[in-house]
Amino acid sequence: MGSIRTWSLALIAGIFVVVVAHQRSHADAAPAGSRPVAAAALSASPAAAPLTVSPAPAAGRVTGLPDFSELVAQNGAAVVNISVVEKAQKGAGPGNDQSDADDPLSQFFRRYQMPAPEHAPPSHGIGSGFIVSPDGYVLTNAHVVADASEVTVKLTDRREFVAKVIGVDKRSDVALIKIAATGLPIVHFGDSSKLRPGQWVIAIGSPFGFENSVTAGVVSATARPLDENYVPFIQTDAAVNPGNSGGPLFNVDGQVIGINAQIYSRTGGYMGMSFAIPIDLALNVENQLRAKGKVSRSRIGVAVQPVNQKLAMTFGLGTPHGALISAVEPQSPSERAGLKPGDVITSVNGHNIDQSFDLPTIIAEIPPGSEAHLGIWRDHKSNEIDVKTVLLDDEPAQAAANAGEDGGGKLGLAVRPLEPAEQKELHTRGRLLIEEVSGPALAAGLQAGDVVLGVNGAGVASVADLKREVARAGHSVALLIQRDEAQIYVPVDIG
């Protein structure tokens, strides 16, 4: 019996040794770094899970989508709904000549020979805004309140206040209004100059009257010029519709970086592009409206146009940039300082002018009467000049339309001298009238009736002057022309 027990124990021990040896042989064959720890193999506790290392996210990779709920909870109470009653328009009521002949009310007044009302019924409008001070100052769009006879502000707690319009600035489309309340929640401001395309933005407003609606998107572009104004708009794809105007545009830190102002649409509703006024510009306007009820801007008295590739080559610029002066107002600060058509303004007070629309914006922010230090490009070299700014009036001449860009071959112009009486009739100082246009000149956008003023920055007063300057030019010339009341440079490729 004892011998059987002894043989059984020996057999079990032998099997154990074989198993351990087999495990060790597999461990030796395993790749480095994947061997099990011997203590763990022999321990009675569960084996530790193998360590896995996830690869680091690639640079620029989006790792998740943000949750805006806390941002909205903290800032939504400072966003207000604005409703307006617009001023009645005299002479627009039923029975007037401007009324629709098929309108039943118009027919009623005509049939019974009753006097028609002098005013049309007042119309109503809606918009949005946001509180910028605890004592009731609210920023919104100028187009929301500019023509209103009554402005009502509704808070998220459903209190309503009749607002006083402190000031309206139509050039920037910014307005400041005030309600009689204290202890109000306010928004906080960010730096709109630091925005980059691709960053998240959030719009809160009252589209179609649906109060405190939240939409989100990304910055599509910055410094977008629209029309002929002084606003470098922020373009986003956040959904904005009628009623959102005047509402805030937030960054992901809960800071206002813009005022929603416009949409690009063929239907009247959102089509993927909305535009906001940068808050830096809006706060400058707000400070002036609060202090004096109006905004003062500067001008220097030039009309400018973009510099395209052909114009850059003609004037010897390495790359297209700056604002090309196409006209200088008589007796303006620019004329007194010595600026002339053909100069390219490349900087103002150290700020580079990349696009022509940068110039009016930067000049406008300089206090009237101050000196503007301009960097200019003239005669294929850099120069500097100081211009004293003056107050911008109601009819500025700060921009000119862009000209056509296509063309090639010879000039293709037939011109004749203008008589003094013709110069007076056309309100021009130019002396050469274009009578026929063909070839490259036609393709470049020149027209019969244009008045030629100069070539490549040099004035021309005769046909001989024109021929001489064209002969001196290289493969392209920049003709300064007057068309109606505007002066523009037109590049023409002459081969």
pLDDT digits (tens, 9 = 90+) for 138-160: 999 999 998 888 999 999 999 99
pLDDT in tens, 371-406: 999 999 998 899 999 999 998 864 333 333 333 333
pLDDT in tens, 332-374: 899 999 999 999 999 999 999 998 888 988 998 898 889 999 9
Contact between 318 and 381 under an 8 Å Cβ cutoff? The reply is no
Q: CA-CA distance, 230 to 252, in Å (whole number)? A: 27
Q: Which residues lie across from 462 on neighbouring strands?
A: none
Query: Is 469 or 183 the better-scoring residue by pLDDT?
Result: 183
Query: Is 23 or 314 the better-scoring residue by pLDDT?
Result: 314
Among candidate residues 439, 440, 420, 438, the one with its CA nearest the CA of residue 430: 420
Q: Quick one: pLDDT at residue 47?
A: 43
pTM, full prediction? 0.65
Element at 137 (helix H, strand E) = strand 137-141
Looking at 149-307, list the stretches that DSSP marks H as alpha helix, in order from N- to C-terminal side.
Answer: 279-292
Contact between 139 and 286 under an 8 Å Cβ cutoff? The reply is yes
Query: Is 54 or 484 the better-scoring residue by pLDDT?
Result: 484
Tell me the two tokens of residue 224.
């977008």
Half-sphere exposure of 23 (CA within 13 A, CB side): 11
Q: CA-CA distance, 372 to 387, in Å (whole number)? A: 5
Q: What angle do CA 216, 222, 225 make, to 5 degrees?
A: 115
Q: Quick one: pLDDT band at residue 117, thresholds 50, 70, 90?
A: low
Q: Quick one: pLDDT band at residue 59, thresholds 50, 70, 90?
A: low
Strands 148-154 and 390-391: unpaired
CATH 2.30.42.60 domain residues, the chain: 413-493
The residues, any chain, with a CB within 8 Å of residue 262's CB and separated by 6 or more, are 173, 226, 233, 245, 274, 275
The single residue listed with the structure tokens 């409206």 is 289
Q: CA-CA distance, 459 to 465, in Å (whole number)? A: 8
Q: CA-CA distance, 8 to 5, in Å (whole number)? A: 5
pLDDT in tens, 415-468: 888 877 777 788 888 888 887 777 777 778 888 888 888 887 778 877 777 877
DSSP assignment letter at 367: P
Strands 255-263 and 188-189: parallel
CATH 2.40.10.10 domain residues, the chain: 71-178, 188-292
Tell me the two tokens of residue 302.
């030039």
| Measured CA distances, 79 to 45, 75, 135, 192, 444 (Å) | 60, 7, 15, 19, 50
Q: What's the fold here for domain 298-391?
A: Pdz3 Domain (2.30.42)
Half-sphere exposure of 67 (CA within 13 A, CB side): 3
Q: CA-CA distance, 276 to 218, in Å (whole number)? A: 12
Contact between 134 and 182 under an 8 Å Cβ cutoff? The reply is yes
Instruction: Write the CATH number of the domain with boundaries 413-493.
Output: 2.30.42.60
Tell me the two tokens of residue 39.
């203590």
Q: Percentage of the chain surpassing pLDDT 90?
A: 39
CATH 2.30.42.10 domain residues, the chain: 298-391
What superfamily would CATH give domain 71-178? Trypsin-like serine proteases (2.40.10.10)
Mean pLDDT calculated for residue range 56-83: 81
Contact between 196 and 234 under an 8 Å Cβ cutoff? The reply is no
Q: Quick one: pLDDT at residue 405?
A: 31
56 burial (CB, 10 Å; 0-12 / 13-18 / 19+) is: exposed
Q: Which residues are catalytic?
A: 143, 173, 245
CATH class of 188-292: mainly beta
Q: Quick one: pLDDT band at residue 470, thresholds 50, 70, 90?
A: confident
Q: Is 173 helix (H, G, I), strand (E, B) or coil?
A: coil
